[in-house]
Every structure is written in structure tokens, then in C-alpha cells.
Amino acid sequence: MKSGMTNIIKLSSILLIGLITTQVIADDLCYLSQKKSEKAFPSLIKCYKSNSDSCCVSAHDSEIGSEIDSFLSSSCVRRFAEIEFYFCYGCHYTEPKSTNSTANTITLCKSFVERLWGSDINSPTEKFDHCGFKVGSNIEIPSKKWASASAFFADVLPPLFSGFSIQIADDDKNCFNTAPGHTLVALGVALVAYLTV
């Protein structure tokens, strides 16, 4: 009986840690919607991966969709998930953690940049050369246009973030990485603690 009660207390502690962690993430206001992230309604079309917890509304999604469709051909959009995540940055629920609207900066995690650009972020990439990108009225071959990931991010900002600059930082909780990590890490640590007691 006592063992069962101890297990209930441990499980309750794990759930409480998960709820607290989720609330800490949700306490910051989103840049685009100027409110906390929430379930998208109506559903997002282009940034549909953010439907369950979104920092944008349908009109933002529509604008982002137009910009993605202009930037990258439809046959290439789904080939590069990280480009799609980058363009949908303003809809991602973790956006408030990596946006500094006072300094007009967005901080990207180095691991995200490496997934998007390639492991050598200080050199050109040929990863997108078979697709090309439309920048303004020009079709650009990425390896010829940008000498590094930083040069690319200086020219190509997430839609609706004009006037911002991009910083690349070592991975931590305050940079954009598209991973659901914070809550899962907290729950994972709590689960390991539970199993070792």
C-alpha cells in the first residue's frame, strides 16, 4: 500500500514538472499575434506543423505561404523541411524564446542552421542548387549567391520579420531549433529520476 502511494506521488511530481515546464514556455508573448501561443483556429495551411500550438493566425499563415511559394518552387518545398520551418518561424510556439523584439534579433541554434545549411556553415552549400531560390525578381543559385549560412540569413529573413537580424548561437533554450525539446527533456529527466528511486 505504501509503495503504491509513493508511486502515485512520484508520478504526480513528473506531471507537475511537465506542466510547469510547458507553462514557462508559454509565458512569453508571440511577436506576430502579440498573445500567448494557442491552438490555431482556423487551421494553418502552410505552417500546419504549428496547428496544435501556434504563435500566428490564419492571415500570417497566408502571407508566409505566399512568400514560401515565391521563394522556392512547389516541387522543392517539401524536400527541405528546415527551410519550411524557417519560413514558418513566426508561427512556431517557441518563437518568443528566440526573438528579441527590442533589439530586432532572432537567435537560431547552430544545430538548426547545420540541418538547414549543412555541417560547414561558414562555406557555400550546394544543397539547394538543383532547386534555386527566387529572391526579389532574381533566380539565385545558392552556392553562387551566398558564401556562408550567415550571408544567407542576412538576405533571407522569415516572413513578417523585416528589419530583424539573425544570430547563430550554440544550442540552448533561447535559440530556435524546431525541436519540442524543453518539455520532453524535463519529462525525460523526471522519468529517469523516478525509475532510479
Question: What is the tens place of the pLDDT at every residue in 143-183?
Answer: 999 999 999 999 999 999 999 999 999 999 999 998 644 44
Of the candidates 48, 51, 54, the one whose C-alpha atom is nearest the C-alpha of residue 68 is 48
Q: Print the domain residue range for 101.
A: 2-196
pTM to 2 decimal places:
0.77
8 Å CB contact between 57 and 33:
yes
Domain tally, the chain = 1
Q: Which range among 51-60, 65-74, 86-95, 170-179 shows the weakest confidence by mean pLDDT? A: 170-179
**For 46-59, what is the mean pLDDT?**
97
